[in-house]
Structure 1
Amino acid sequence: MDLTHEIRDFLMTRRARIRPEDVGLVAHGKRRVPGLRREELAQLANVSVDYYTQIERGQVAGASDEILGAIAEALQLDADETRHFFILVRAARSRSARPTWARDAPQVVPDTVRAMLRSLETLPALVQTQRLDVIDANQLGRALYADAADPDGGTLNLARFIFLDDRAPRLLVHWESSADDAVGILRVAAARAPDSPRITDLIDELSTRSDDFRTRWARHDVVGTTHGTMTFNHSALGRFALNYEALSIPRARGVYVVVYSAGPETRDADALKLLSAWAATNSETPHPTGGESRIG
């Protein structure tokens, strides 16, 4: 991934979404492109136009955190976007500073995490990477995503499923939201591991094969959300909504346990009980990892 281009495109897309009147400026003359001009953004960030232009072009070697913070504030970046901006800048400054897990080292599910998955008998749980590979799951997790299982027994990649599998809009009721989140997560992953062939190859594949992905990728939106609600339309159980929480694993950087739950005494909680009963009678449910708990 070309980090210079990433910084440029990220800042330009953030600048384009702000109207002068939104930040107390008077718009003068006809504008060829939407949003703030470079000189207006520089004024808001209290830096020279030449200096801001240098940063927008990805020349960030000497930029201080104070200046970067001022630019983030002027662009009205949220917490996830600000974090993403700083990650891009730091990655551009020094390749040697990138974490070792970002260089496509095999990601292994620790035995303690596997034991935790098995102990969650009433809640679906997955182990997934920032590339959105599902590398392990408990029985209820397999049952929840049974409609997404690879017919050939390969590892389930949620991004590939969302954008390239016709079953996705049927299983994921709010498909548009899931698609936005998947692209935002991959954008963050690519910034943290810009030299990762696995991430780059996946992005290239999706960009080539999916107009929906390509359009979203061009927006440069990022997602760092670790919790939310998903509505499923399960082929055997119908529609229900589950809350989810993604928990990072310190021993396996870039790997998360995603646990799904429902509020007590709700129809969704009843659906979880039915899912458990269905899983018990469908023990041959395909494993999303193709039977493996390790990727390389």
Structure 2
Amino acid sequence: MDNRAEVSAFLKSRRDKVTPEQAGLPVYGQRRVPGLRRGEVAMLAGMSVEYYTRLERGNIGGVSDSILDALAQALRLDDTERDHLYALARAAGTRPARARRHPKKTTVRPSVLRIIEGLHDQPAYVRNNRMDILAANPLARALHHEVFELEPVNTCRFVFLDPRATRLYPAWERVAREGVGVLRVEVAKNPYDRELSNLIGELSTRSDAFRRMWGAHDVHVFTKGTKRFHHSAVGELELVHETLDLPNTDGLSITVYSADPGTPAADALQLLASWAATQNQTEDEAASQTDTEH
């Protein structure tokens, strides 16, 4: 894949974010660039201006780890950004794998399903690298009940294309930027994933907000943190989440939400469980009535 444009845009976006003061450089007169100049990056990374210019033009294939490390240090990249730079370098100049006529369907192992089903008081779900939710326990379905009305169940599509997302996520801007950052990371790691490319193309076409955030070239990896929800039935919840990659899978991960005992969030989760049980009972009764009529 010729990813030179992607590499160039990422390096320039990171260069624009670092000020001379942050880099410990003196500032003289007016500057025409928002961050560092190319020559300043080159000096900080211990390379010639010509060589750095070549890298920023996207010619990063075959570059040594020491050069990438020097570049990451000069641009003050965090761990996620550094890993993204390495992924871009690995992808540069590689050849695509032979395309499958019918993409392989990713399945969730029964043992993983048993894990999330066993978490009765914690919302838990399994997702793939495109943010499709492939499996979820009842409490996760209740927490994201609006998202589960989509087919396929995809959190990024919901965030950018469903107007209810700004109500479910009070910190919508943060949630949206993190989702875009995850997709940006996945594109570098899986440059020939056709379904991933189709998703990004769809969101770019249909959402101005997605196009704006995608153009920032920010990256993100879900590990742990907090997320606020405004559920239509139980109100506000602020939950802790942990995301763990599942080994020997095609980019699957498991996310679990929880709340400290005795907190308002814990009380809200109990209320959510009661609401979910009521909803399930109503659905079962409706299905039973339909079967009787037929």
When normalised by structure 1's length, the TM-score is 0.89
Change (3 A) 1:191 1:105: farther
Say if 1:147 and 1:235, in contact at 8 Å, map to a contact too. Answer: no
Say if 1:146 and 1:285, in contact at 8 Å, map to a contact too. Answer: no
Structure 1 unmatched ranges of 5 or more: 287-296
Q: Which residue number corresponds to residue 41 of structure 1?
A: 41
- Alpha-carbon RMSD across the aligned residues, in angstroms, is 2.1
Stretch moving more, 256-265 or 21-30: 21-30
Alpha-carbon offset, residue 284 of structure 1? 7.0
Q: In the comparison of the two structures, how many residue pairs are matched?
A: 281
Alpha-carbon offset, residue 23 of structure 1? 1.6
User: Is it true that 1:18 corresponds to 2:52 in the alignment?
Assistant: no
**1:119 aligned partner, one-letter code:** G
Give 1:231-242 correspondences, 5 Å limit.
231-242=228-239
Structure 2 unmatched ranges of 5 or more: 284-294
Give 1:141-220 correspondences, 5 Å limit.
141-150=140-149, 154-220=151-217
Q: Which residue number corresponds to residue 120 of structure 1?
A: 119
Instruction: Report which of the two structures shows the higher radius of gyration computed on alpha carbons.
Output: 2
Alpha-carbon offset, residue 93 of structure 1? 4.1
* Match 2:258 to one of 256, 261, 264: 261
When normalised by structure 2's length, the TM-score is 0.90
Change (3 A) 1:284 1:142: farther
For CA contacts below 8 A with separation 6 or more, give which structure has more relative contact order. 1
Q: Secondary structure of 2:55's partner?
A: helix
Alpha-carbon offset, residue 173 of structure 1? 1.3
Stretch moving more, 206-215 or 73-82: 206-215
Alpha-carbon offset, residue 276 of structure 1? 1.1
Change (3 A) 1:2 1:206: farther
Q: Distance in 1 between matches of 2:106 and 2:152?
A: 14
Q: Distance in 1 between matches of 2:201 and 2:82?
A: 25
- Residue by residue over 1:121-162, the C-alpha shift from the partner in whole angstroms, topping out at 9 and shown as x without a partner, is 111111111211111111111111012232xx6221110100
User: Is it true that 1:248 corresponds to 2:245 in the alignment?
Assistant: yes
Q: Distance in 1 between matches of 2:69 and 2:51?
A: 14
User: Is it true that 1:59 corresponds to 2:59 in the alignment?
Assistant: yes
Q: Which residue number corresponds to residue 82 of structure 2?
A: 82
Change (3 A) 1:104 1:60: farther
Alpha-carbon offset, residue 62 of structure 1? 3.5
**2:108 aligned partner, one-letter code:** V
Change (3 A) 1:131 1:285: farther
Stretch moving more, 87-96 or 127-136: 87-96
Q: Percent identity?
A: 46
Change (3 A) 1:196 1:265: same
